[in-house]
Amino acid sequence: MDERYDPNKELDGAAVEDAVAESDAGAPEVDAPPERVRPEFEAEVLASLRSTAGPTLDGKAPTEVAPELAWADRKLHYKLVSPLNRRKFKIIVVGTGLAGGGAAAALGELGYEVHSFTFHDAPRRAHSVAAQGGINAARGRKVDNDSLARFVKDTVKGGDYRARESDVWRLAEESVRVIDHMEAIGAPFAREYGGQLATRSFGGVQVSRTYYTRGQTGQQLQVASSQALLRQVKAGTVHLHTRSEMLDLIVIDGRAQGIVTRDLVTGKIEAHTAHAVVLTTGGYGNVYFRSTLAKNSNVTAAFRAHRRGALFASPSFIQFHPTALPIGNEWQSKTILMSESLRNDGRIWVPVAPADPRPANDIPEDERDYYLERRYPAFGNLTPRDVASRAARDEIESGHGVGPLKNSVYLDFRDAIARLGKPVIVERYGNLFEMYEHATGENPLEVPMRIAPGAHFAMGGLWSDYDAMSNIPGLFVGGEAGWAYHGANRLGANSLLSACVDGWFTLPYSIPNYLAGLLGTPALERDDPRVHAFAEEARTGVQALVDIGGTQGPDRFHRRLGDILYSHCGVSRSGEGLAEGIRLIQELRREFYADLRVQGSSGSFNQELERAGRIADYLDMAELMCLDALDRDESCGAHFRVEHQLADGEAARDDAHWAFVSAWERDGSRYVRHDEPLAFESVRPETRNYR
């Protein structure tokens, strides 16, 4: 490779090694805990679901160069497709969020024939709009000692050393280009008085690297991305299929060659073929029923690919967002997300006295416990999400919860308003305050917000190698549908970034490398009998749900499943609770297939049928999540096993036995675990400490 290449040359000129050594100075070593002897009940449950471990996985990251040079080296050695040959290749992209919309637009601009699928009525309605607070980038514009190396350290440490290090270096390197690119296609980032793009801090870091558009960052990025996608639709390089839900992945001759979809308006089921398939269908947090996700967000596309052989990595790694609105009553269908950016100026506290009945403003300062500032003075209210969520749960369960149901903590802007004035706070967070007031009837400028942990982001997803390709050749994965960047806990504002990096700057490089080997090979014909068999199988499966003819609607099962998961696979987990959760999920699944009621027919618009299919997948997904959580006998990031705690109550990671990614293969009703070992060259593993 070109020895002149230096991914850090635009920053401060310091060598990566020096920056990492400085950031790691004095880091505590990780003590290897003794291997625990599993109780008999755990062993029995694992034996009933888990087969013998499968072969070790190769993530295919470059090993002949340092991690910080891996992406440049890989791009240099990728095979290319010439402009005249690109129109000979057909690519299917499922999902139109930041990852899918970006990938489809970029590949279309390059000259490939792209077919973009979404179950929404327009691409801009993808759930990327819901991310509010910002997007990270290691541009190093502030004089606060940020760098690519520090970005990587923060992200790898924030994920508790359960991510692939070389992928995180790519995320950091491309983050610099993402901001310029998204601004160029129309994202209106906030600016300082002098004209420079403004930044703020997010949880898990001590620098200011988050770019934002008030509290509408995801929405504005999604609008810009959708406009770029629709430009290619108008140009004829991208064919947009709206209101189309993916029901199956077509795998023939050992590679992904298309998908099966159902038209949500007419009910028509048909197959679509291509040289490659890209899944960018978001995360599966809605398995908990009450989550911060839009109600239509689901796991179906990814899980149907899993049923066809795609490995599912780290399914139990679920993030609970610490600033969701608390549940107000048992009939509430979802939670509402308040941006983590609010923790820049808001202070989190609970009354010192348990069950204090006084209104928040009547509680004097010396009777308030700012518990994050007390427990984590170095990071305070900007501790990572998993740490903040566990701390909030501890306060609520110890009797210090506030609100009518005593199930929340306060997020208070009193001091920030006194220091900066209301106009500044309104300028920074006004739309978030309006949303909170509409939801609760309370004005956060006058009384503190009430927040509580809520199921939010899936760090797990379909396993993919360094080139973003799954173990099924031709099946690529991007955005939250994948697993690679975040480890066991995602840092705030890295979600929009990872989706943009995958869509605009990873998949458009790696997909041509795969396609180059298929030059001269036509895509399968849609009337091929093998393709028709996949469509017929999907049609039979849909009709089978209608034919059950039971008495309970699908939402009733979903609500009960969510209760099981919150209780047994929530912010904290235990071996006993997970084993019981698996038993309850299996009982609920048997009841689902015996007593499900789907009104209407399969050959028409039928939203109850849509939900039934998605909940069928959630039932299997939930079992796999609990299995993965039971199998991983350690605490790390958002996966907190109560059996594995340090003396101060923090997560006890076990690198001696569990420093690998678990990627699960479905084998009938049982699962085979494949391991991808994790090694770290530039970020030395240490005990995770935010004090």
Show Cβ contacts of residue 235 under 8 Å, excluding neighbours closer than 6 positions.
108
Length of the chain: 691
Residue 142 has a pLDDT of 87
Q: State residue 93's pLDDT score.
A: 98
Query: What is the pLDDT averaged over residues 462-487?
Result: 98
What is the tens place of the pLDDT at every residue in 70-113?
Answer: 999 999 999 999 999 999 999 999 999 999 999 999 999 999 99
For residue 508, is pLDDT > 70?
Answer: yes
136-141 mean pLDDT: 90
Give the pLDDT confidence score for residue 442 in this predicted structure: 96
Is the predicted pLDDT of residue 467 greater than 90, yes or no? Answer: yes
Sign of the dihedral defined by the CA atoms of residues 464, 468, 472, 475, in that order? positive
Q: At CA 498, angle to CA 684 and CA 60, rounded to 5? A: 60
Specify whether 204 is located in the same domain as 303.
yes
Residue 677 domain-assigned? yes
The answer as to whether 11 is a domain residue is: no
Count of domains observed in the chain: 2
Residue 611's pLDDT is what? Answer: 98
Q: Is residue 1 situated within a structural domain?
A: no
Considering the domain architecture, whether residues 115 and 171 belong to the same structural domain is answered as yes
Q: Give the contacts of 260 (CB within 8 A, at least 6 positions apart).
A: 246, 247, 248, 249, 250, 269, 270, 271, 272, 534, 535, 538
How far apart (Å, rounded) are the C-alpha atoms in residues 369 and 373? Answer: 9
Of 431, 455, 479, the position where a domain reaches its end is: 455
Taking residues 342-360, report their average pLDDT.
97
Q: Is the pLDDT of residue 26 over 80?
A: no
Residues 681 and 603 in one domain: yes
Residue 496, token pair as written in the block:
């929009």
Dihedral sign for Cα 519, 521, 526, 532, please: negative
| pLDDT(5) > 70 | no
Residues 429 and 481 in one domain: no
pLDDT at 394: 96
List, in sequence order, every residue forming a beta bridge with 245; answer none if it has no partner: 262
Same domain, 340 and 247: no
pLDDT digits (tens, 9 = 90+) for 103-131: 999 999 999 999 999 999 999 999 999 99
Residue 635 has pLDDT above 80, yes or no: yes
Q: Quick one: three-class SS letters along 210-265?
A: EECCCCCHHHHHHHHHHHHHHHHHHHCCEEEECCEEEEEEEEECCEEEEEEEEECC
Q: Are residues 235 and 276 in the same domain?
A: yes
pLDDT at 52 (0 to 100): 79
- 331 or 527: which carries more pLDDT confidence? 527
Average pLDDT score over residue span 172-194: 95
Share of the chain above pLDDT 70, in %: 95
Q: What is the average pLDDT score of the chain?
A: 94
Question: Is the pLDDT score of 20 beyond 70?
Answer: no
The whole-number pLDDT of residue 27 equals: 53
Segment 132-160 shows an average pLDDT of: 94
Judgement on whether residues 326 and 313 belong to the same structural domain of the protein: no
**Taking 50 as the threshold, does the pLDDT of residue 564 lie above it?**
yes
* Residues 588-604: tens digit of each pLDDT: 999 999 999 999 999 99
Residue 19 within any structural domain of the chain: no
Q: How far apart are CA 319 and CA 485, in angstroms?
A: 14
Asked if 663 contacts 676 with a C-beta cutoff of 8 angstroms, the reply is: yes
Domain annotation covers residue 31: no
- Gyration radius of the chain's alpha carbons: 24
- Distance, CA of 227 to CA of 236 (rounded, Å): 14
Q: Do 287 and 411 reside in the same domain of the chain? A: no
Last residue of a domain, one of 435, 455, 475: 455
Task: Based on the fold, state whether residues 310 and 367 are members of the same structural domain.
Answer: no
Whether the per-residue pLDDT at 583 is higher than 80: the answer is yes
Choose the final residue of a domain: 399, 427, 455. 455
Using the predicted structure, report yes or no on whether residue 6 has a pLDDT greater than 50. Answer: no
Are 422 and 489 found together in one domain? no
Q: Which CATH number fits the domain that encloses residue 186?
A: 3.50.50.60
Position 63 confidence tier, pLDDT thresholds 50, 70, 90: very high
CB-CB contact of 139 with 182 (8 Å): no
Indicate whether 451 belongs to any domain: yes
What pLDDT is recorded for position 29?
65
Which CATH number do you get for residue 335?
A: 3.90.700.10
> What is the b/e burial string over 375-393, where b = at least 16 CB atoms within 10 angstroms of the residue's CB?
bbeebbbbbbbbbbbbbbb
What tokens does 494 get?
């890295």
**pLDDT above 60 (res 287):** yes
Structural domain including 391 reads 322-455
pLDDT at 46 over 80: yes
Tell whether the model's pLDDT for residue 25 goes beyond 70.
Answer: no
35 domain residue, yes or no: no
At 7, the pLDDT band (50, 70, 90 cuts) reads: very low
**Among all residues, which ones are annotated catalytic?**
385
d(CA 461, CA 350) in angstroms, rounded, equals: 35
Task: State whether 328 and 310 are in the same domain.
Answer: no
Residues 440 and 569 reside in one and the same domain:
no
Q: What is the pLDDT of residues 421-452, one digit of tens each?
A: 999 999 989 899 999 999 999 999 999 999 99
Residue 17, pLDDT score: 43
Domain annotation covers residue 359: yes
User: Nearest CA to 227 among 102, 94, 92?
Assistant: 102
